[in-house]
Structure 1
Amino acid sequence: MEKKIIEVVAAAIIAQNQVLLAQRAANAQDGGLWELPGGKVEAGESHQQALRRELQEELALTCEIGASLGCAEVEKEHCIIRLHGYIATLPNAITPVLHCHDAVHWVSYAELADYAMPAADIPLVAALRQYMQAIPNKERIIIPAENRLKINKPRNRH
């Protein structure tokens, strides 16, 4: 029997050379792991539409969706998860509302390796690092400090 493919999208939300990670709720699948926020694509939605909807539903964020980071597949017992990653930006300062996650953090690219993540996110994070290294500093997305999300860093990242 052929496994069902579940299409999922995730956003690498970038500001000040940092990316926003969300911690999955403790009672969710892969609970406690850190991820690029996103969710499942519904019938009739484009990846960008699904990502905008998921970010609004899960974090109350309205983001601009940009370049693709590629796709990663993970085979589970009963299905295949196909995760499509995208660069995203916040047009203005918005504080996320945690509906489905336990926490969110702004993380430098060097710190990304310190966070335990689901298997599908790992290749997208590697693609994100390559993407950011390829962009000259003067072209990187810079948001003034007063407009950045204000999020407390946790003591324990795992």
Structure 2
Amino acid sequence: MGRTNALVVVAAMLALGGCDMTSSGGPDGSSLSTGAFAVQTGRAGDPARERAVATAAALGLLIGPKLDSELDDNDRRLAYQAQMDALERGAPGAPIAWRNPVSGRHGNIVAGPEYELKGATCRGYSHTVTIGGQLETVRKTACRNGDGKWAAIG
């Protein structure tokens, strides 16, 4: 990912950072912290660093900044893989679990049925994460964008 792409990702995170819905069902309004430490790790041009930044940004948009700020890079990688599995192949209502044995954090994603919205394929989902024994749940909707990737819309 080049410098221009990274700036586009950061701009998108800033624009969408206030769209998070937490378990309380209201706007989160917390400040954007998606991938803050991931951006600071590794060397510029390091493919592993760039993958970590891209994963952190993508997951941050899918689960919101409040929940994302509680996860480390390995949590994010595992959560993102499970999120994509749930959206791509998950049966409606069936949980897709993830667990990081090192941090002890774990969660699950439950996707709803696919539906069409303005010509795009969409799915509602909930992503629940257990952090320090506390359950945190985010409920959002994701739709496939023009390049076939899932993006949160609310």
Flag whether TM exceeds 0.5 (same fold): no
Bigger strand fraction: 1
Higher relative contact order (CA 8 A, sep 6+): 1
Bin the TM-score by the shorter chain: under 0.3
Bigger helix fraction: 2
